[in-house]
């Protein structure tokens, strides 16, 4: 049996990360994702957007070839990043909408749809869970304040590894089988939230203010996402490690089940 390969999506770096004399186009992925996949026993490969640093209209996503990727990886991790463009869920941008990466949106949404259709194991993290929902026909609050005027602080200023707010994991869900049902604490670096988890998806965890913190597919063996950042918690949190282990285990089971034409 060969290595289990997890494709990890990436995109343009956030402003201020690359302090160069001249700004250059770049592809960016925090090393914490790579370390978390390796620690779980798989080989990570970075999946850049297919049309980086070119003029991109949304239709270009249709030209991307997700099947090329699906033939070569055993599972996909949709990583964190900027806000998905609300165009993808049929809305105009409102003032609460943040930075967007159009090339990454087009690529990830087309890739996520293909992976979900194929039943390939997918884990979504932060932006990744939002992309998963949008790919499944769901929708987001462009800013948490739109849906939850009395929301908790979801953009923590505590260290990245620190679990700053509670979530309640729903009984009987896939997520509960991985990290346990009931109360748990997570870190939080998001200002958007899922409004509609999409077709075939159910909510598997919520924060005490009602904000959706995790979703999962009812139909796929392993398609789940969390709004927090387990890759930043792995050193101290066994539940964070369990999430990556569950993706790798699902991907290992998927391998050999057949590839795509
Ligand atoms: Mn949160």
How confident is the model at residue 207, as a pLDDT?
98
Residue ranges in the chain whose pLDDT is less than 50: 261
Å from CA of 161 to ligand 1 middle: 13
> What's the N-to-C CA distance of the chain in angstroms?
22
The pLDDT score that the predictor gives to residue 63 is 54
- 106-127 pLDDT, tens digit per residue, is 999 999 999 999 999 999 999 9
Query: How many angstroms does the Cα of residue 65 sit away from the middle of ligand 1?
Result: 33
187 CA → ligand 1 middle, Å: 7
pTM for the whole thing?
A: 0.94
Which pLDDT belongs to residue 56? 54
255 CA → ligand 1 middle, Å: 33
Ligand 1 geometric centre to CA of 158 (Å): 13
CB 106 within 8 A of CB 58: yes
CB hemisphere CA count around 226 (13 angstroms): 26
Catalytically annotated residues: 126, 229, 231
pLDDT for res 261: 42
DSSP string, 148-184: -TT----B--S-TT---EEEEEPTTSHHHHHH-SEEE
Buried b (16+ CB within 10 A) or exposed e, 123-136: bbbbbbbbbbbbbb
Which pLDDT does position 67 carry in this prediction? 85
CA distance 191 to 252: 34
| 201 CA to centre of ligand 1 in angstroms | 19
Q: How far is the CA of 188 from the centre of ligand 1 (A)?
A: 4
Beta bridge partners of 182: 169
Tell me the Cα Rg of the chain: 17
């Amino acid at each position: 049996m060969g290595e289990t390969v997890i494709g990890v999506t990436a995109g343009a770096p956030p402003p201020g990360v690359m302090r160069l004399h001249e700004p250059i186009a770049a592809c960016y992925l925090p090393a914490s994702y790579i370390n978390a996949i390796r620690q779980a026993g798989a080989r990570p490969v970075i999946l850049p957007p297919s049309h980086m640093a070119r003029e991109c209209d949304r239709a270009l996503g249709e030209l991307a070839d997700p099947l090329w990727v699906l033939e070569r990886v055993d599972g996909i991790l949709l990583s964190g990043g900027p806000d998905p463009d609300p165009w993808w869920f049929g809305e105009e941008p409102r003032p609460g909408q943040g930075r967007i990466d159009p090339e990454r949106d087009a690529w990830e949404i087309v890739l996520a749809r293909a992976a979900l259709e194929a039943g390939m194991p997918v884990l979504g993290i932060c932006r990744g869970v939002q992309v998963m929902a949008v790919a499944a026909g769901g929708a987001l609050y462009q800013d948490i304040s739109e849906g939850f005027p009395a929301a908790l602080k979801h953009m923590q200023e505590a260290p990245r590894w620190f679990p700053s707010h509670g979530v309640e994991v729903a009984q009987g869900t896939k997520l509960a089988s991985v990290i346990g049902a009931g109360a748990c604490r997570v870190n939080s670096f998001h200002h958007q939230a899922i409004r509609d988890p999409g077709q075939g998806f159910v909510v598997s965890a919520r924060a005490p203010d009602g904000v959706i913190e995790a979703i999962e597919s009812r139909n796929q063996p392993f398609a789940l996402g969390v709004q927090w950042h387990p890759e930043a918690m792995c050193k101290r949190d066994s539940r964070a490690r369990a999430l990556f282990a569950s993706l790798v285990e699902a991907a290992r089971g998927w391998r050999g089940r057949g590839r795509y034409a």
